[in-house]
Structure 1
C-alpha cells in the first residue's frame, strides 16, 4: 500500500497562499489594466473634445471666415509627443478645407455620414484599425458654417505604458510582501506545533522531561501548549502512581498470603495446639476472605473494563432499592458507633437499575464514609430528583479528601496517602463503582469535599411516565 508523502504545515500554507495570491493579483491586474485603459481613453477623448471646441472658436477672422492659407493653431493635448491627432476643418458639404496632413488614410474616411451624425464622438474603422473622431461645429451668428475634426487611433489614445509598468511593479511588490508575511506567520504557527509534536514523541518513549515554548500570544497555540504541558504532568504523575500502586497491590496480596502461610505452618509444626490452633485457623480464614474479596474486586474491574460483564437492569422504585442496599450494609456492621440517616423521596419514582450492582456502589460509598470518620460519626443518605434524573447523595462528616488527591480518586488502584496505611485494599472501589454507575446509564461523582465532610453523588435516569 502506497503512503502519501506528508507536507509540512509551513510549506502547505505558503504554497496555497501563494497560489491564491497570484490568482487574485492576476485578476486584480487585469481588471485594473482594463479600468486604466477605459479611463485613459475617456479622459483623452474629453480633452480632444475640449481642444476641438477651442480650435473652432479661433479659426474665424473678422469676416467670419476660416483663415485662408494659414497654418492650423497648435493644440495642447497633455500627452507630450506620444499622440498626434489628425486635425481637419471641413465645410458643411464635408469638403476638407484645411488639414495638417494632406495625405493619409483618414482623409478618405471623412464622409457626410460622419458630418451629419449627431454624436460629437464617433468610433470609425479605417484600414481595419479603430479610430476615434471628435468634431466641434464652427458657429457664426448662431449658424454652423463648418466643422473642426480631430481623429486619432484607439491604440494611441489608450497608450499608457508607464502606468502599466507602475501597475505591474505594484502587483509584484504586493505579491512579494504577501508571500513574506504568510511565510513569517506560517513559521510562527508551525514552529510551536512541531515542537509539541516532537515532545509527544518523547512522551511516547517514556521521557516526561520535555521543553516546550513559553506562553504565546496566539490563544489557540497557547492553549495547545498549556494543555500538552498539563497532560504531560498528569501522565508523569499517573506513571509514578502506577509504579507505586503496583508495588502496593503486590504488597496487599502478599501480606495475607504470608500471614496465612505462617499461621498454617505453626499449626502444622505443632507449635500451637488446641484453642490456639483454632484461633490461628480462624485468623487464616479471615485473611483468606480478605484476599478473596480483593481478587473478586480485581476480576470484576477487569471484566467491566473489558465490557464483558453484563448489567441486568430492571424497573425498580428508587426508595426500595436504596433501603435494601442500606439494610444489607447495616447488618454486616459490628460497630454501632455510626449514625446513619436516610431521606427518601416523598413520591414513588421508578428507575432502570441492577439492584445487585447498585448495592455494590452503596457498600463501597458507605464503607469509605465509615473509614473517613474512623468508625464513628454520622452518615446521611439523601435522595432527590428533578424532571429527568434521580440523585443519591452519600454524605459523611470526615476530614475530607486532600486537594492534591481529588483528581485521582476514580483512578484504578489509587489510594490516598492516609488510607493506604490504615485500610487494606486494592484501590478499586471508587473506580469500579463509577464504571457500574455508567453501565446503568448514570454516573458517580465527587460532589464536594472539605474539612467538614465529603459528598459523593450517584446519578440515575428516571423512567418517563406516559
Structure 2
C-alpha cells in the first residue's frame, strides 16, 4: 500500500529520478543506435559483395580462353581474401538465358528458379523473398562483357539475416551504454550528495534553533552560489533571532517595569493620603501626582492597545485629501500650543505650492507627534529640529531631522522592533518602546512608509513618505 506525501531524502529523490530518466534515454539511444548499426552494416556489406562481384567479373574477363570459364576457374571463396566474417555469399555465373553455368555451391543446393527474373531487372542490387523458406535475400549482379558483348552475369546472393548480423558491434554498444549508465548514476549521486549535505545541515540547525540553541556551526566553504546564499542567510537569521530573543527577554522585563512603576507610585501616594500621613495642601499635591502617574499609565496602555489593533489590521483608515503645506502649518501651531517652555527651535521648509496628498488626518498627526517627541527626547538642552518637505515622484517626502546625540549603530536595526528601547531612553524616559513601530504601521496603513535615513553623533533623520492624491 502506497503512502501519500511520503517524504524521501533529496539524495534518493534526485538519484532515482535521474537514473530512471537516464535509463529511458539510454534505451532510446540504444534502439536508435542498433537500427543505425544494422542499416550501416547492411549497406557496407552490400558494397563489399558488389565489390566482390566486380572482382569476379574482372577475373573472368581476364581469362585467355574465350567464353565463360568452367567450374574449376571459379575462385574458392572459402579461401579467398574477400571472405567476410560470418558471411559466405552464394556466387553464380549465369549465361544470358539465366542458366547457371558455375557456382560455389554444390549442385543440389543451387537456386535456378528466380535467376531469370533477377537478371531481367534493371537494378544491380535487388531484394527478394525466397519461396522455399520465406526469408529475405539480397542479390547483387554484375555484367560479364567480352569485347563489349554481354556473355553472362555474376550473381551473388546472401540472406538479410547474415548481412545484418553484428554481434561484435552490439556487444560494444552494450558495453558503452552500461558504462554511460554507471558513470551517469555515479555523477548524479555524487552531485546530489554534495548538494544535499549543506541543506541537511541547515535543516538540523533549524531544529537546533527551534529548541532554543542558537550556537550553530555551518561551513562557509561552499562553491554553489545558491546553496552558499541559503547557508549564509540562515546563519544571519539565526544570529538575528538570537539577538531578538535576548532583546525580547530584556524588553519584556522593561515593559513590566514601566507598567509596574506608575501603579506602585499611585498606590503609594493614595495610601499615604488614605492613612492620613499627609494632609491639606500636601495631600492635594499627592493626589495631583497620582493623577499624573495615572495619565502616563493610561497613555502607555493606550499605545499598547493601538499597536495591537494595527497589528491585526483592526483599525479603519479614513483617507482624505489635504494640502501638505497647510497641514504642516496647522500641526506646528497645535504643537507649540501644548508644549511647555523649551529651548528647542523647530524649522520647516515647505513646498510653497499646493500639493495634495491622500492620508488619514488623525494617523498623520500621530506620526508627526511621535517623531517630534522622539526628536525632543534625543536633544539634551538646546537644539534644533528641521522639517523638510520635497516631492518624490508619486510621494511627498517629509524629513524630520534633530540635532541630538544620535542612535548607536548597533541599535539602528532594532528601532522599529516592538518594545525596543535604546540605552539612552531605557532609564531616563518612560515608555513601552512602541512609538516608532506604531508610527511605521500607521504610515503603511495609509499607503506610505517611515524609515530611518541616517543617524550620527550630529543627529538623526527620519523620512515619512506620503502618497499624492490620485
Contact 2:348 2:387 in 1 (8 A): yes
Deviation at 1:382, TM superposition (A): 1.1
Distance 2:107 2:181 in 1: 49
Partner of 2:105: 101
**Residue pairs, 1:111-190, within 5 angstroms:** 111-126=115-130, 127-190=133-196
Partner of 1:271: 277
SS in 2 for 1:418: helix
Matched, 1:371 2:377: yes
Partner of 2:387: 381
Distance 2:376 2:209 in 1: 40
Cα deviation code 1:365-405 (max 9, x no counterpart)? 01111111224211111111133111111111222222111
Partner of 1:235: 241
Deviation at 1:458, TM superposition (A): 0.9
Partner of 1:28: 29
Counterpart of 1:86 (choices 85, 90, 104) is 90
Cα deviation code 1:396-439 (max 9, x no counterpart)? 12222221111111000001112212211100000000011111
Q: Report the CA distance shift for 1:130/1:313 in structure 2 as closer, same or farther (over 3 A).
A: same
> How many residues are treated as equivalent by the alignment?
463
Contact 2:68 2:151 in 1 (8 A): no
Q: Report the CA distance shift for 1:81/1:390 in structure 2 as closer, same or farther (over 3 A).
A: closer
Contact 1:138 1:146 in 2 (8 A): yes
Distance 1:449 1:275 in 2: 47
**Which segments of 5 or more consecutive residues in structure 2 lack a partner in the other structure?**
none
Counterpart of 2:70 (choices 63, 68, 71) is 68
Deviation at 1:104, TM superposition (A): 5.8
Distance 1:348 1:128 in 2: 101
TM-score, normalised with respect to structure 2: 0.94
Distance 2:450 2:66 in 1: 111
Distance 1:66 1:373 in 2: 126
Contact 1:335 1:375 in 2 (8 A): no
More displaced stretch, 205-214 vs 385-394: 205-214
**Residue pairs, 1:294-305, within 5 angstroms:** 294-305=300-311
TM-score, normalised with respect to structure 1: 0.95
More displaced stretch, 288-297 vs 138-147: 138-147
Contact 2:76 2:104 in 1 (8 A): no
Distance 2:208 2:332 in 1: 50
Deviation at 1:105, TM superposition (A): 6.0
**Which segments of 5 or more consecutive residues in structure 1 lack a partner in the other structure?**
none
Deviation at 1:182, TM superposition (A): 1.0
